[in-house]
Structure 1
Amino acid sequence: MLWLAAAFLATALLYASVGFGGGSTYNALLALAGTDYRILPLIALSCNIVVVAGSSIRYAHAKITPWRGALALTALAAPAALLGGLTPIGERSFLLLLGASLLLTSLTLLIPVRETHAAEPTSLARYIPFTAAPLGYLAGIVGIGGGIFLAPLLHLVRWRDARAIAAAASFFILVNSLFGLTGQLLKGGAERLEAAVAFGLPLLVAVAIGGQIGSLLAVRLLPKHWIRWLTAALTFWVGLRLLLGA
């Protein structure tokens, strides 16, 4: 458990520095630790909430969050996240879906991110709202926030500048995680909640510490592209293992 808590702290620290929650990597680490798949989404979504809550508040306080766009995307995604959390799923199907989502995560992390964009969005930006509900559903069912998929799409279509995209992704993750967690709790009941709390409480403390440090200090220990590549390698490896072993 000590190595897992340390890994969660480091993950939260790194992800919080760029506006993400880390749900995909929490899933990867929990899968490596052999965690019961039925409580895995509860832990990952809870950790997401702890990390991105602070980031979302700071972005809002700094008046960076593009509220109109962020609210529109989240309003489409949140009900789907709740539905995803409520969806019954067997272990093999869950592991296959989680493995596929981790592989997709690894690919999105390799998409180059520019710090500045042209003023005008591309013609494809109008189709971004159609991605919100599928991402919300995936967020609820496997225990991610969906922002790590949404943000690269927003960068590709030049939706806003890089800071506004990070703020929108952070808010998207927060709300989706809340709705997805609600669905998971309604589906699993008190017994599963007790098991998740018993196993995940030290991890929540770890991500709370890591998330605060990351959002406050904007980590400079490694270049951001190194962080993305290392995370991509981890998620790809775990995703492939899950797909081959499911």
Structure 2
Amino acid sequence: MPDLNLIGWMYLATAVGVVAFFYSSVGHGGATGYLAALALLGVAPASARVAVLITNVLVAGVAWWRFRQAGNSDWKILLMFAITSVPCAMIGSKVHISPHAYKLVLGAVLTVAGSVLLLRSRWQTDDVALRKFLWPVALVIGVVLGFLAGLTGIGGGVFLSPLLYLLRWVKPKTTGGISAGFIVLNSVAGLAGAGWGKITHAGPLLWLTLPAVAGALLGTHLGARRWSSVTFSRVLAGVLVFAGGKLLWEAGRG
């Protein structure tokens, strides 16, 4: 349980709201950002894992709803990922290993993916030539990303979004709706794997869901309805670089 004064709680609430705004605008739940904010205050990720997953579900749920309303989602593709990712997320949530190696590798991957996405967005238009969806590939990706999501205590959207963008199975903004649904399903599976009884241990951290949902309502309005695909891609790139940098920073500290 974090031992914070009023200033600490105000900082944390503001940070969570801002993180939820930017992450939800591209269909993400923001787990990596919440963990980073908590780490700056000396809160161990393990003690905040359940609260972060619950916040992730709510924020990504808002994003999923908003992107679906705007027509930026695809049930068929989401289902193909979820069939294998959900059970693997439950398995991953039960595995406990040293986090240093995966933080280093995944941090580097996300940083590179975000940088490539940012460079490519300079020449991107709203008219993207799509490729044929390959469901066997989606099933395999679901296995890997679901396990990683459960292992790291996040929803996995930061892994799925750049893959969807590079595979070009859907338009850029549709990656937001698919990623949001993916995050909700994997986060719920992660909570189930960790044990629903641990929800009562989240304590005061659950109050952070309020600024998170408020930030998500604002962020998803822009991401789902206002921004062009180019703007969406650039914000997504920024989120990925931030998430990757956060993981590399943690790996360096460890």
Query: By how many angstroms is 1:230 displaced?
Result: 5.2
Counterpart position of 1:166: 176
- Does the 8 Å CA contact 2:91/2:147 hold for their aligned counterparts? yes
- Does the 8 Å CA contact 1:121/1:160 hold for their aligned counterparts? no
Separation in 2 of the partners of 1:44 and 1:6? 15
Where does the alignment leave 5 or more consecutive residues of structure 1 unmatched?
A: none
Counterpart position of 2:186: 176
Query: By how many angstroms is 1:237 displaced?
Result: 4.2
Deviations 1:9-28 (A, max 9, x none): 00101111121111222222
Query: By how many angstroms is 1:176 displaced?
Result: 0.7
Separation in 1 of the partners of 2:107 and 2:48? 14
Counterpart position of 2:128: 117
User: Residue 97 in 1 paired to residue 102 in 2?
Assistant: yes
Counterpart position of 1:65: 73
1:226–1:163 Cα change, 3 Å: closer
Separation in 2 of the partners of 1:169 and 1:234? 17
**Alignment of structure 1 residues 1-246 onto 2, 5 Å:** 1-87=9-95, 89=96, 93-112=98-117, 113=121, 114=124, 115-121=126-132, 127-185=137-195, 189-190=197-198, 193-198=199-204, 200-218=205-223, 227-228=235-236, 231-232=239-240, 234-246=242-254
Separation in 2 of the partners of 1:71 and 1:43? 26
Letter in 1 for 2:175: I
- Does the 8 Å CA contact 1:41/1:141 hold for their aligned counterparts? no
Separation in 2 of the partners of 1:236 and 1:119? 27
Structure 1 residue ranges, 4+ long, deviating more than 6 angstroms after superposition: none
Letter in 2 for 1:120: R
Deviations 1:77-117 (A, max 9, x none): 01111111222x25xx1354345434433333223254432
With normalisation by structure 1, the TM-score equals: 0.82
1:209–1:167 Cα change, 3 Å: same
1:132–1:238 Cα change, 3 Å: same
Identity %: 26
**Count of aligned positions:** 235
1:106–1:40 Cα change, 3 Å: farther
Q: CA RMSD in A?
A: 2.7
Q: 1:38 is paired with a residue of what secondary structure? A: helix
Letter in 1 for 2:195: L
- Does the 8 Å CA contact 1:159/1:165 hold for their aligned counterparts? no
Deviations 1:197-238 (A, max 9, x none): 33x123211111111111124487xx6566456545544443
Query: By how many angstroms is 1:158 displaced?
Result: 1.1
1:95–1:29 Cα change, 3 Å: farther
Deviations 1:35-58 (A, max 9, x none): 223223222221211111112122
